[in-house]
Structures are given as C-alpha cells and as structure tokens.
Structure 1
Amino acid sequence: MEHETRRSKGINSIEVGYRVLEAIQEGPGSVPLKTIAERASLSPSAAHNYLASFIRTGMVRPDGRGQYALGPSLAALGMTAVRQMDTYELVEGAALRLRDATDLGVAVLIWTEAGTVIIYNRPGSPEGPFELRNGLVSTAWTGGGNVFIAYLERELTTPVVERELGVSHDECTAVMKSIATNVRNAGYAICDLKQIPDYRAISAPVWNSDGTIAYALTLTAHKDAIDTSPTGPHVTHLVRAAAQLSHTLGAPQSVMRQAVE
C-alpha cells in the first residue's frame, strides 16, 4: 500500500509539472512566475520549485528578467517526438473517434493553392444517398472552406472564393467578412452544402504547433439529422475533438482561445 501511495504521488507530480510546462507554452514569449502559478493552479512557491528542477534539466530557461521560457532539452524532446509521430494517423484516428461518437459522416480538409481539399472522409451510420469524395471542394459552400476563410490570410483565400462566386472583388470581400465573423464568433462553421442538397456541415479548426491552421475537422449529415445548436452533442463532440487534436499536435493554448473572438 505504501509503495502504491508513493507511486501515485510520483505520477501526480509529473502531471502537475506538465501543467507548469503548459503554462509556459501558452506564452506569449517568456512568462513571469506569477502568471505560471495562476495558469497551473499552484502557489508561486510551489511553481518555483518545479521551475528549479526544470531549469536544472534544461527543460525551462530563465530569461534574466524573472520570466521563464521553454528550454533546449524540451525542444530536443519535442523535435524527436515530431519525427516519430505519424500526423496523418493521429488525424485519421481523431476523425474515426468523432464518427463513432456521433454516428455522422466525418471529413478532414486541408488548404492548398487550388483551394479546399478533402483528404479523408468516412460516411455516417446509416449511410446517406450521397457519397463524399476526397479531392477539391468548394471553399465558400463547405464548412471546412468557411473555416479556412475565417483563419487563413485573406490574400490566400480571396482569389479562390472570387472564382467560385463569380462576383466583384468588393462583393466577395463582403461575403468573406461575414463568413469569417460568424465562424470566429462561434469558433466553428455551420454551412449548408451546395453540392449536396439538404446536407449540412459543422467544421472546426485544428491548429499546428506554430499557431497556424492545419486542418478543418468536419461533421456532415442530412440537415434533419445534425444538431447545430451550440450546446448540442454534435457541436460539443466536434469542438472537443478538434481541440484535443490541436493539443496533440502541439498547438499553443493561447491560439485556440483566440480562435473564438
């Protein structure tokens, strides 16, 4: 029993220490002790004890102004983890778990020079009469495309959307601004799929470790089968899955918070 108690305390200490590292990861830049303690739900003295150990191992470095940043040994561990990590496998796994949790169709989309592209999809249960296909899709009329409109630089998305809509630059800008505002206010996109009548999509951003958008994770179903209410199970599962995948990919917490304005 004593051995188990000690082992549990040791595991708990690692978990608490990880909260300290996450508090520093949030940034921006070097972070003062007081902020680290608040983010990690620790007293300043307890946070300082963890920092002292992390500094000795090179996982944290002081900047000489009473603030702290992640250190070189942690960077080395991170780079090794990235080399060993199969990102596509992680994304596929997250999408499959989301499908199992909702019974809806799922899709993973990326941005390319040509526009929005589905790289992975699986149908819901039961399967509908329409089949999603991997490849180039609309940006203006898909949930994933709307996510990219909201979070990518406008110079990347505007030419694609202008071609799709066939409108003037000013009209396109107004449409994109409206889409971006709605997505950023909610933190996810809701879109009726023009290419699949009576189908609707909900899509949420997945973030990279450098704070840029990596993927759009999407649920699709007939509009009568998908619950788009903010507190409903489908939005809840989707947003949670996208956040968990972003975290696995190393996305800063600050970026995920700022995605909802």
Structure 2
Amino acid sequence: MSDASAPSSGHAAPPARASGPRGIQSIELGYRILTAIQQGPDAVALKTIAARAGMSPSAVHNYLASFVRTGMVGADARGQYRLGPSLAALGLAAARQVDHYELIRAKAVALSDDTGLGVAVLTWSALGPVIVFNRPDPRNHVFELRNGPVSFLSTAGGHVFAAWLPREATRPVAQRELGQGATDGECDRLLDSIQATVRAAGHSDVMLDALPGYGALSVPVWNAQDALAYALTITAPVELMDKRPDGPHLKRLVLAGQELCRLLGAPPRRWAP
C-alpha cells in the first residue's frame, strides 16, 4: 500500500514531526495497529483495535488484511486478531540484536530533554539499588550523581524496589541501613509503609536527604519475564518539579516508563493504558 493510498482514519492525525525525514505515514499507522493488538490481553476485536489506534474500523481492516497475508497477524473464526508467527520471528531476532542498555540510555536522555530535569536509571543488586546511568539536571548542575550503589531507604528508586521486590531481598539491605539494632519487625513495618504508599500511587516521591531542597520521582520498569528490572527516576530542586499527576514532569516520567516496559516485552498490564 502506497502512502498516497493510505485510508483516512477518521480521527485527528498525530502531530507532524518538527524535523527529520518525512517518512511513510502508512507504515506508522500500521505500527499503531500492531501496538493496539499487542495490548491484548488475548485476541482483540476489530472495533477495539480501531479505538486503540485512533482509526476507523474500515481503515484498520485494510491494514489487517495485509498483516494476515504476511503472517504478521493471525485471525480466528470469531474475527478477532492476535500477533502472528512472522512478528514472533522478527521479535526473536530483535531480542538477540537490540542492546537493552543503549535502549534504556536513549529513553532516559530523551526524558531529560523533554522535562529539563536530571534522570537516573537504577537496577537492583545484593548491595541494594545501583545507578547504571544518570544525566544531571542540565539547568541546575549543582551536584553530580555517580554511577554505583546508592541509599535504599532514602531514594526514590530505592522505594520502587522496596514496593515490588520480594521482602527476602529487601529486608537485609534495609536492616543494614537502619543499623544492627533494627529488628526484622521494625524493618518490615517500614517496608510495609513504603510499599503501600508507592503501590497506591504507582510511583515513588522522595525528598533526597543527601541533597537538601532536591526531590525525586521514580517509576518501575518491568521486563519480558514480568520482573522488576529498573527504576526510572527524575530529580530536580523541589520548586522546579511538577509532581501533579497531570503535570508535565510526572506524566512524561510515567509514559517513558510504560514505553520502556513495552519495548522490553513486559506484559501489557504493565504498560497499556
């Protein structure tokens, strides 16, 4: 299907890029359809795909006919669609070729550019949370984070891991930070409180003890095994960070985390709207 013959969606088209190659709109629309099917959770009806993609059912049906012929999408007797074997083969090849660290680094840099804030990516180790990539706040370069271990109980990324990792992994780290006198019960009560707060909000919100006046927000990033792989964090002086759920900073952080979950192959419940 040529770009000129691409069917009209009946919905407002996404905003045009400000710069870069013009591209082929029909390919980008097709990608939206595949992503709509990827949300699942099982086979998806045509009307649902169209609604998710922001296109008319007739336009989506034309794309699906080609996707079914190429094996990129499969259709069942009820007229519902799921991703097909051709895409599975491409996905397996991509899994071998894609550099996950570079993918995460690029998304973190883009998030920093979008928000104007500092960004850090953390993973978990036996010592607790570890920064594997960071980009300082470009406007307020007052301090410089270093890659490596950071506090568990007083960082936003640490609170993300406290909220979703197994207690047998997090309790020893919490006990070490609280001091030898801390009992298992004291550790568990603190971790229970962090877990309840973060899970209810879907993200962590922490004032950084080591950096007075600075705050941090962090979201979880899940992988294809539905395991918590990373915490994606933004940092800035509190007066410059918009923590409202519909504000630009938290909203962009959440969307970036969801997009990373999708690209890492996490189940749709971790990233779909």
Q: Same fold (TM over 0.5)?
A: yes
What is the one-letter code of the residue matched to 1:153? Answer: P
- Whether contact under 8 Å (2:111, 2:252) holds in the other structure is yes
> CA separation in 2, counterparts of 1:230 and 1:38?
24
Once the two structures are TM-superposed, the CA of residue 74 in structure 1 deviates from its matched residue by 0.5
CA deviation string 1:180-210 (max 9, x = no partner): 2222222221112233344321112223244
Q: 1:211 aligns with which of 213, 221, 226?
A: 226
Partner in structure 2 of residue 244 of structure 1: 259
Once the two structures are TM-superposed, the CA of residue 141 in structure 1 deviates from its matched residue by 1.2
Q: 1:60 aligns with which of 73, 92, 102?
A: 73
Partner in structure 2 of residue 235 of structure 1: 250
Q: Does 1:135 align with 2:123?
A: no
**Percentage of pairs with the same residue:** 54
Partner in structure 1 of residue 16 of structure 2: none
> CA separation in 2, counterparts of 1:78 and 1:35?
24
**TM-score (norm. length: structure 1):** 0.79
Partner in structure 1 of residue 135 of structure 2: 122
- Whether contact under 8 Å (1:25, 1:252) holds in the other structure is no
What is the one-letter code of the residue matched to 1:193? Answer: L
Is the partner of 1:6 in helix, strand or coil? Answer: coil
Is the partner of 2:4 in helix, strand or coil? Answer: helix
Once the two structures are TM-superposed, the CA of residue 25 in structure 1 deviates from its matched residue by 1.8
Once the two structures are TM-superposed, the CA of residue 64 in structure 1 deviates from its matched residue by 6.3
What is the one-letter code of the residue matched to 1:142? Answer: T
CA deviation string 1:143-190 (max 9, x = no partner): 111112223333332332233234332332222222222222222211
CA deviation string 1:11-59 (max 9, x = no partner): 5554444333223322334445565455445676765654444333222
Taking a change above 3 Å as real, the CA distance of residues 119 and 98 of structure 1, as seen in their structure-2 partners, is: same
Q: Does 1:93 align with 2:106?
A: yes
> CA separation in 1, counterparts of 2:228 and 2:77?
33
**TM-score (norm. length: structure 2):** 0.77
> CA separation in 2, counterparts of 1:248 and 1:257?
12
- Whether contact under 8 Å (1:149, 1:180) holds in the other structure is yes
> CA separation in 2, counterparts of 1:41 and 1:103?
30
> CA separation in 1, counterparts of 2:244 and 2:50?
36
Partner in structure 1 of residue 11 of structure 2: none
Taking a change above 3 Å as real, the CA distance of residues 48 and 237 of structure 1, as seen in their structure-2 partners, is: closer
Partner in structure 2 of residue 6 of structure 1: 5
Q: Does 1:71 align with 2:84?
A: yes
Taking a change above 3 Å as real, the CA distance of residues 249 and 5 of structure 1, as seen in their structure-2 partners, is: same
Q: Does 1:155 align with 2:168?
A: yes
What is the one-letter code of the residue matched to 1:235? Answer: L
Taking a change above 3 Å as real, the CA distance of residues 147 and 58 of structure 1, as seen in their structure-2 partners, is: same
**Cα RMSD between the aligned structures?**
3.2
CA deviation string 1:95-129 (max 9, x = no partner): 2222233333221111123221001112212311x
- Whether contact under 8 Å (1:209, 1:250) holds in the other structure is yes
> CA separation in 1, counterparts of 2:267 and 2:24?
24
Partner in structure 1 of residue 118 of structure 2: 105
What is the one-letter code of the residue matched to 1:20? Answer: I
Is the partner of 2:231 in helix, strand or coil? Answer: strand
The number of equivalent residue pairs is 255
> CA separation in 1, counterparts of 2:248 and 2:42?
36
What is the one-letter code of the residue matched to 1:246? Answer: C
